[in-house]
Structure 1
Amino acid sequence: MPRAAIAFVRIVEALNYRVGRVAMYLIFVLAGVLMWSVIAKAFFRPALWTQEMAQFTMVAYFVLGGAYSLLLGTNVRMDLLYGRWSVRTRAAVDCVTILALIFFLAVMLWGGIDSTIYAFEVNERSRTVWRPYMAPIKIVICVGVLLMLLQSVAFLIRDIATLRGERI
C-alpha cells in the first residue's frame, strides 16, 4: 500500500480513538444535566433548558462516539455467515458493503452541511421555550458524520490491503 494510504489510516484511527475517548465523558455531562433537572423540579422552579440540553448532549455523545464504535468493531453486524468466512473473504465482502456505508454517510454529511449553512443564514433557533441556536449541535452532527465517513474510508483501505496480502 502507498505510504500516504497507510498514514491516512493511522491518522484517522488515532483521531477517532481520541475523540471517542473524550466523547465517552459526555455521559457524565448528561447525568449532571438530568440530575439538575430533578433537583430544580423538586426544590426550585423547573429549568426550561434541561430537557433540550440533555437531548443535545445525548446527540453529541452518540454521534461523536460513532466512529470510535466503528473503530473498535462494537457496531452491530449480522454474524450468521460472516464469522465462518476467511479473513480474505471478509475483506472482499467488506469492500463491497463499506461502499454502501460510505455513500450513506456522504449523503448524510451533504445534507448536514446544507442544514448547518441554513441554520447560520437564518439564525435558526429551536421552537421550544428555551430557544437555543441550532447551528452548534448541527456542527457537532456534521463533525461526527465526517469522522464516521473517514473511518469507513480507512476500513476500505485496510480491506484492500488485506486482499493484497498486506497488513496495515
Structure 2
Amino acid sequence: MPRPIVLFVRIVDAINYRVGRFAMYLLYVLMAILLWSSLSKLSSTPSMWPLEAAQFVMIAYFMLGGPYSMQTGDHVRMDLLYGNWTERRRSWFDAFTVFAVIIFLGVLLYGGIESMMYSIQYNERSPSPWRPYMWPIKAVMNLGVFLMILQSLSIFFKDVAALRGKAI
C-alpha cells in the first residue's frame, strides 16, 4: 500500500483508539449523574437537570465509542454466513459493503451539520425546564459520525491491503 494510505490508517486508528478509551470513562460520569438524580429525589427539591444530562452523556458515549468498537471488531454483526467465511472472502465483502456505510454516514453527517448550524444560529435550547443549549451535543454527534467515516475508510484500506496479501 502507498505510504500516505498507511499513514492515514495509523493516524485514524490512533485517534479513534484514544477517543474510544476516553469515551469508556463517560460511563462513570453517567453513573455519577444518575446517582445524583437518585439522591436528589430524597430532598425536598429534586434536581431537574440530571436525567437530560444523563441522556447527553449517553449520546456522547455511544457516538464517540462507535468508531472504537468498529476498529476493534466489537460491533454487532450478523454472523449467520459471515462467521463461516474465510478471511479473504470477508475482506471482499467488507470492502464492497463499506461504501453503503460511508454513503449512509455521509448523509447523516450532512443532516447533522445542518441541524447543528440551525442550533447555533437560533440558539436552540431543549424544551425541558433546564433548557440547555443543543449545539454542544449536536457537535459531539457530528464528531462521532465524522470519526466513524474515517474509521470506515481505514477499514476499507485494511481490507484492500489484506486482499493484496500485505496487511497494514
Band of TM-score, shorter chain = over 0.9
Instruction: Give the Å deviation of 1:37.
Output: 0.8
Q: 1:78-93, aligned counterparts within 5 Å? A: 78-93=78-93
Displaced runs of 4 or more, over 3 A: none
SS at match of 2:80: coil
Residue 137 of structure 2 is aligned to residue 137 of structure 1: yes
Q: For 1:119, give the aligned amino acid.
A: S
Partner residue of 2:17?
A: 17
Deviation per residue, 1:71-99 (Å, 9 max, x gap): 11011111122122221111111111111
Instruction: Give the Å deviation of 1:43.
Output: 2.2
Q: For 1:79, give the aligned amino acid.
A: D
What is the alpha-carbon distance in structure 1 between the residues aligned to residue 31 and residue 83 of structure 2?
37
What is the alpha-carbon distance in structure 1 between the residues aligned to residue 61 and residue 138 of structure 2?
13
Instruction: Give the Å deviation of 1:141.
Output: 0.2
What is the alpha-carbon distance in structure 2 between the residues aligned to residue 5 and residue 56 of structure 1?
35
TM superposition score normalised by structure 1: 0.97
> Number of aligned pairs?
168
Q: For 1:89, give the aligned amino acid.
A: R
Partner residue of 1:52?
A: 52
- 5+ residue gaps, structure 1: none
What is the alpha-carbon distance in structure 2 between the residues aligned to residue 100 and residue 110 of structure 1?
15
What is the alpha-carbon distance in structure 2 between the residues aligned to residue 130 and residue 3 of structure 1?
50
TM superposition score normalised by structure 2: 0.97
Q: For 1:124, give the aligned amino acid.
A: E
Q: Percent identity?
A: 54
Residue 39 of structure 2 is aligned to residue 39 of structure 1: yes
Q: 1:72-151, aligned counterparts within 5 Å? A: 72-151=72-151
- 5+ residue gaps, structure 2: none
What is the alpha-carbon distance in structure 1 between the residues aligned to residue 47 and residue 121 of structure 2?
29
What is the alpha-carbon distance in structure 2 between the residues aligned to residue 41 and residue 55 of structure 1?
18
What is the alpha-carbon distance in structure 2 between the residues aligned to residue 23 and residue 44 of structure 1?
34
What is the alpha-carbon distance in structure 1 between the residues aligned to residue 146 and residue 117 of structure 2?
16
Supply the RMSD in Å over aligned alpha carbons: 0.8
Deviation per residue, 1:45-96 (Å, 9 max, x gap): 1101111001000000111000011011011111122122221111111111
Q: For 1:19, give the aligned amino acid.
A: V
What is the alpha-carbon distance in structure 2 between the residues aligned to residue 106 and residue 89 of structure 1?
26
What is the alpha-carbon distance in structure 2 between the residues aligned to residue 109 and residue 162 of structure 1?
29
